Structure 1
Amino acid sequence: MSGTAFPDVDPTRVTTTLTDGVADVRLARPEKRNALDPAMFAAIVRTGEALRTTPGVRAVVLSGEGPDFCAGLDFGAFRAMRNGERLSASVDLPPADGPARATGQRAAHAWARIPVPVIAAVRGNALGGGLQIALGADIRLVHPDAVLSVLEIQWGLIPDMTGTQVLPELVGRDVAKELTLTGRRVSGTEAVALGLATRVEDDPLAAALAMAGEIAALSPHAVRAAKRLLDAAGRVDLETGFAAEQDEIGALIGSPNQAEAVTARFERRAPVFADPDLR
């Protein structure tokens, strides 16, 4: 896939380009700080879910066009809430096939469900729902001056895009409560110190694309297996986790891509790996 978007995704909301195994996904509403309106929700969900089964994808970079990652809900959504309306509930999407059912939850959890690593490049604002979408990524590279906030409490709300379940795992239950109950803003530098982000970068997008390129050059079967195991860690009992580890290593040893990795290293050349068959 090349070009600017999946056929059923509004390119005025999200664009995607695939180059050398790296899917470069960009929220594309910079004039509104990439705020979340119904069209943006639909485009994010459709893109994230389509990438799960797109051939040739070995890593994903998620960023926002313009100065911000995503400033959260569009002001129109808050106006509608005063009348009891929830605009995200009206988004037309295919039925959900995973644990996330609500549109907002799907917009965040879709990235966690992608079987290859997802790297979020965050600069400017990542507020409320925008932060929760970034939390769906495996790795978050942030500008030191980025602004991140679990902002919902200041609008009389709670984070409902998977944030209450994901945040404690990253920062600990007490810090998750402090951030959620105050809605205070933290810099990219503090976000890393708290565990909310992975590391700071002066150019998060360039760093994310470089990291994604490195990952895309590795065995895609091993990368996918590693992500599966690490995602399960702490969510299954040790017996199950240890058994899964042995199942994965058993499937990798002697496989064509593993043999190619060994051969290429001995021959001091770049390996040539085959992508998984997604049929």
Structure 2
Amino acid sequence: MNDRVTIAVSDGVADVRLNRADKMNALDPAMFDGIVDAIDRLAAMPHVRVAVLSGEGRAFCAGLDMASMAGGGSMLDLASRDWGPANKAQQVSWGWRTLPMPVIAAVHGVAFGGGFQIMSGADIRIAAPATRFAIRESYWGLVPDMAGVALWRTLARDDVLRELTYTAREFEAAEAERLGFVTRMADDPLAAAMALAREIAARNPHATRGAKRLYNLAADGDAAAVLDAETVEQLKVIRMPNQIEQVRANMETRAAVFAD
């Protein structure tokens, strides 16, 4: 993995950080590579129960580094589809949604354009009150193309998405929370995200992963498919060692010890 993204794992929680602080974690080709590689690495870590995604320095992610993408060639190079339905540009956002473990984004400073789309791939998003957001692409004469449209449809109303996309206007965390883009606000979003991650990591990891698969299916599946999936996922965990351990730990008022 290049140095654009760092991963540190402790007690089942991966602390994942965009690491280009001098450029407000703006997206250049190396950052795209680093994020995709980080997602691939996390997918191969069964001992990671929750991932927390944040940005070093003054911002979560300021979006595309327009200087490095000048002329459009570099962005067009990202359009090949090597990650199932997603191309490389989309995978940096969509990949967080497809990871087996929950992902919590801790957002501060700005999350513009591509940064806003990356944030939207997380299961849960916690933001500092002064954070500024924007679906920024139309400011540059572009359209959102990093999986944002596929992700936002489960977060906000269609007319809201159209207004924010057509105007590229900025908005802060209180409005983002009201519209559905932010789960909640916290003065220290990284600390809040890590605390929540530790709480989730203390639950049966197989049940948590099954629940994530169900909610991912709910975005597109019809009622019959979702109802069937609920049964399938429950049969995978009920009376299994981790589920039995969860019950015993609850009854004995102790921390559960799970097998990943």
Q: Distance in 1 between matches of 2:223 and 2:97?
A: 22
1:262 corresponds to 2:253: no
1:72 corresponds to 2:102: no
Q: Which residue of 1 aligns with 2:25?
A: 34
| Residue pair 1:141, 1:197 contacting (<8 A) in 2 also | yes
TM-score normalized by the length of structure 2 = 0.96
What SS does the corresponding residue of 1:160 show, helix, strand or coil?
Answer: coil
Q: What does 1:127-142 align with in structure 2 at a 5 Å threshold? A: 127-142=112-127
User: AA paired with 1:59?
Assistant: V
User: AA paired with 1:243?
Assistant: D
Unmatched tracts of structure 2, length 5 or more = none
Q: Which residue of 2 aligns with 1:230?
A: 215
Q: Which residue of 1 aligns with 2:90?
A: 105
Q: Which residue of 2 aligns with 1:208?
A: 193
Q: Distance in 2 between matches of 1:239 and 1:227?
A: 18
22, 34, 42: which one pairs with 2:13?
22
Q: What does 1:96-245 align with in structure 2 at a 5 Å threshold? A: 96-101=82-87, 103-245=88-230
| Residue pair 1:147, 1:188 contacting (<8 A) in 2 also | yes
Q: What's the CA shift for 1:79?
A: 2.6
Q: What's the CA shift for 1:78?
A: 4.8
1:10 corresponds to 2:5: no
Large movers: runs of 4+ above 3 Å: 88-91
1:252 corresponds to 2:234: no
What percentage of aligned pairs have identical amino acids? 49
Q: What's the CA shift for 1:115?
A: 0.7
Unmatched tracts of structure 1, length 5 or more = 1-8
| Residue pair 2:83, 2:91 contacting (<8 A) in 1 also | no
| Residue pair 1:37, 1:74 contacting (<8 A) in 2 also | yes
Q: Deviations over 1:111-161 (max 9, x none)?
A: 111111000000001000010000110110001110010000010000100
Stretch deviating more after TM superposition (127-136 or 163-172): 163-172
TM-score normalized by the length of structure 1 = 0.90
Q: Distance in 2 between matches of 1:196 and 1:234?
A: 16
What SS does the corresponding residue of 2:211 show, helix, strand or coil?
Answer: helix
Q: Distance in 1 between matches of 2:231 and 2:69?
A: 49
Q: What's the CA shift for 1:168?
A: 2.6
1:87 corresponds to 2:74: yes
Q: How many residues align?
A: 260
Q: Deviations over 1:22-50 (max 9, x none)?
A: 01000000000000000000000110122
Q: Distance in 1 between matches of 2:204 and 2:222?
A: 28
Stretch deviating more after TM superposition (263-272 or 21-30): 263-272
Q: Distance in 2 between matches of 1:52 and 1:78?
A: 28
Q: What's the CA shift for 1:89?
A: 4.1
Q: Which residue of 2 aligns with 1:48?
A: 39
Q: Distance in 1 between matches of 2:97 and 2:231?
A: 23
| Residue pair 2:128, 2:173 contacting (<8 A) in 1 also | yes
User: AA paired with 1:58?
Assistant: R
| Residue pair 1:14, 1:28 contacting (<8 A) in 2 also | yes
Q: What's the CA shift for 1:248?
A: 1.1
What SS does the corresponding residue of 1:57 show, helix, strand or coil?
Answer: coil
| Residue pair 1:132, 1:163 contacting (<8 A) in 2 also | yes
